[in-house]
Amino acid sequence: MTGTIINGKELAQELRQNMKGEVLQLKERGVTPHLSVILIGDNPASKSYVNGKKKASDEVGISSEVIELPAETTEEKLLHLIDDLNKNHAVHGILVQLPMPEHIREQQVIEAIDPSKDVDGFHPINIGRMMTGKDTLLPCTPFGIITMLKSKNIDIAGKHAVVIGRSNIVGKPVGQLLLNENATVTYCHSKTADLKEHTKKADILIVAVGKAHAVNEDFIKDGAVVIDVGINRVDGSLTGDVDFDSAKKKAAYITPVPRGVGPMTIAMLLKNTIKAAEGLSDN
């Protein structure tokens, strides 16, 4: 058996095509969705991500700006800028690119963003709404993963989903979204005893550990769905947390790296920006 590839790049392209129509409808009502991205410092990976977000925004007709700040920018100055953007009615989405310089408290910044403009879906109010199954702006990568599963009509309800990784950005929220879709969810992490014992029972396996090829076919049940969230650079090329060639022998469906979860994260950011502009998120 060789797993069917869930191509996130193609799906994201399809979604962006649909979003063009949604943006046009908003513009006809006199609303141009606008995304403000704040980039602090000159981390090359962050710059590359931000450029990707700007390019995708332009493609669907979302107005966007990148506000570049020097690495030594104070937390006070950043919070003042966020406050200005919160008050600006022409701005619908605000995103501060992570990671931030060490002298800035990440949580402080996340909580300063108006929840109705929090297109990353990280604000505690949005996380709380997600936990209780309410309509809200969802964290982009987990939202993208659920969208990928649904695009292949993969049943989630009643399935055993195992999440390796417990970050606030991916691991915890994707487990909650799977639970909201009526999966039975197991979280695994660095302190989990006998990891394979858990992963081999998974109908859906989400791998988000940030370690190249941490998972191979020995961890996977025949016919499982494997979603690889990892992005690692090995010998100059990108690879995931899953050993793709080995895992695809067992998996029914599998995501590649690149062209997997990454493009979907940006697509969901655009979706959240449109949703915020529509005012559907009633925070």
d(CA 159, CA 180): 12
Annotation marks residue 120 as catalytic = yes
Tell me whether residue 97 is one of the annotated catalytic residues. Answer: yes
Nearest-angstrom CA–CA distance, 161 and 73: 42
CA 147 to centroid of chain Cα atoms: 11
Instruction: Dihedral sign for Cα 53, 58, 61, 65, please.
Output: positive
Q: What phi, psi does 191 have (nearest 5°)?
A: -100, 0
The catalytically annotated residue of 97, 117, 203, 248 is 97
Tell whether 166 is in a known binding site.
Answer: yes
165 in a labelled binding site: yes
Nearest to 211 by CA among 235, 187, 240, 189: 240
* 259 annotated to a ligand binding site: no
Residue from 42, 47, 54, 120 carrying the catalytic annotation: 120
Residue 231 labelled as part of a binding site: yes
- Exposed, middle or buried, 227 (CB in 10 Å: 0-12/13-18/19+)? buried
Q: Which of 53, 117, 159, 271 is catalytic?
A: 53
Annotated binding site: 165-167, 231
Active site residues: 53, 97, 120
Annotated binding site for NADP(+): 165-167, 231
